[in-house]
């Protein structure tokens, strides 16, 4: 798995990805509307409204690039002339107006209610019938474009989803980088007391970041950090040591006693910046079988983005359940 050198490299790759998706989808919709569909659209637009001002308002509310509407003479022209000029100008620049043309096709093609023509139908018999016929003809001529319109909507939704994922991924990577820098600072601190309090704050941030539901803030107690959290419907006790000296089995037995003092299904997570002695993992004592072990290298796997903390805990727990080995090391 590739590890990004910095957040800038990560953002650059994500940006190339989303631009590529947008370009592919834009090219896939570069399909010009047929001449018959354009003629049917003109006829339908001229028929669905009696007054030109109502038709103009309908078009203004339908398309996005409304500036072109004001280039048409809606006063002197008869209704069909205004519609024809507008659509012809949009067709000549489908690179700018294709989406708007498709929106007009969709809105007009979906029109089923012509009650707004009732008033004028009294003096112009057949007005509603003419509008219905024109819209039906448009539907037949532009049947394939309704699928294209639906794909355009889906493409826009995909772009928005991709953009949201990108923003979330960037925020995730930035926070992970911050935690990694904080961990490096802790590891290099030679002041044991300071190191303990720094490690306690770090673990609180780390567990909150991965939504591991700490029951309360982890606390420094003597030479260790104590806490509790819930994950995957299981309650865990947490004990962490920031010293880099080797952890002995006696430390784990003490922790195991605390676990046994809780409810039956309580588990334990023991974290140490230093290594574990061989007796910690070779013993078959049932006292140690309710815990899993994590070290500084495990934390680095998480901080470098190789595995999420909750996934790592799940992997270690399943391995321990299947093999009895409480100290699984990630490859």
Whole-number average pLDDT of the chain: 83
3-state secondary structure 56-108: HHHHHHHCCCHHHHHHCCCCCCCHHHHHHHHHHHHHHCHHHHHHHHHHHHHHH
Confidence of residue 145 (pLDDT cuts 50, 70, 90): low
pLDDT, tens digit, 9 for 90 and up, residues 290-313: 899 999 899 999 999 899 999 999
Helix, strand, coil percent content, the chain, rounded in steps of 5: 65, 10, 25
Structure token pair of residue 161: 């989803």
pLDDT, tens digit, 9 for 90 and up, residues 60-110: 999 999 999 999 999 999 999 999 999 999 999 988 888 889 889 889 988
* Dist CA 160 CA 156 (whole Å): 6
- Can you list the domains of the chain with their CATH numbers? 34-141 (no CATH), 191-323 (3.40.1350.10)
pLDDT score of 284 more than 80? no
Q: How many H helices and E strands in the chain?
A: 13, 5
pLDDT for 217 equals: 67
pTM score, whole prediction: 0.54
* Dist CA 82 CA 52 (whole Å): 9
pLDDT for 188 equals: 86
Instruction: Please enumerate in sequence order all residues whose Cβ is within 8 A of that of 40, keeping only pairs 6 or more positions apart, or say none.
Output: 134, 137, 138, 140, 141, 142
pLDDT score of 257 more than 60? yes
* Dist CA 18 CA 12 (whole Å): 10
pLDDT score of 27 more than 90? no
Largest CA distance in the chain: 100
Which is nearest to 260 in space by CA: 234, 289, 240? Answer: 289
pLDDT, tens digit, 9 for 90 and up, residues 175-210: 999 999 999 998 888 888 788 888 888 998 999 999
Confidence of residue 17 (pLDDT cuts 50, 70, 90): very low
Put the strands of the sheet holding 291-295 in their side by side order: 219-221, 224-231, 234-241, 267-272, 291-295
> H-helix or E-strand containing 22?
helix 7-28
In angstroms, the Cα distances linking 330 to 23, 120, 125, 157, 315 are 39, 78, 81, 38, 9
């Amino acid at each position: 798995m590739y590890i990004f050198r910095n957040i800038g490299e990560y953002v650059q790759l994500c940006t190339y990805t989303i631009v590529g998706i947008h370009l592919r989808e834009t090219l896939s919709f570069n399909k010009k509307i047929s001449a018959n569909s354009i003629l049917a659209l003109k006829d339908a637009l001229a028929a669905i409204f009696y007054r030109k001002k109502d038709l103009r308002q309908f078009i203004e509310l339908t398309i996005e690039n409304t500036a072109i509407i004001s280039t048409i003479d809606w006063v002197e022209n008869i209704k069909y002339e205004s519609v024809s000029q507008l659509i012809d100008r949009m067709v000549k620049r489908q690179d700018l107006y294709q989406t708007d043309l498709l929106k007009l096709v969709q809105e007009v093609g979906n029109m089923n209610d012509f009650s707004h023509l009732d008033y004028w139908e009294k003096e112009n018999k057949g007005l509603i019938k003419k509008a219905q016929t024109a819209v039906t003809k448009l539907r037949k001529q532009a049947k394939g474009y309704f699928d294209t319109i639906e794909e355009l909507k889906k493409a826009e939704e995909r772009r928005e989803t991709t953009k949201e994922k990108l923003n979330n991924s960037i925020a995730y990577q930035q926070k992970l980088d911050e935690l990694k820098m904080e961990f490096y600072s802790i590891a290099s601190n030679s002041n044991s007391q300071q190191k303990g309090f720094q490690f306690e704050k770090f673990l609180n941030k780390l567990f909150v970041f991965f939504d591991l539901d700490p029951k309360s803030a982890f606390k420094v107690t003597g030479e260790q950090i104590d806490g509790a959290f819930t994950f995957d419907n299981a309650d865990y006790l947490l004990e962490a040591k920031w010293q880099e000296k080797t952890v002995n089995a006696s430390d784990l037995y003490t922790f195991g006693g605390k676990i046994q003092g809780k409810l039956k299904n309580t588990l334990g997570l023991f974290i140490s910046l230093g290594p574990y002695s061989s007796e910690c993992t070779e013993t078959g004592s049932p006292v140690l079988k309710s815990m899993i072990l994590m070290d500084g290298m495990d934390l680095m796997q998480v901080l470098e983005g190789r595995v999420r903390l909750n996934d790592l805990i799940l992997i270690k727990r399943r391995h321990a359940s299947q093999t009895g080995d409480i100290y699984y090391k990630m490859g």
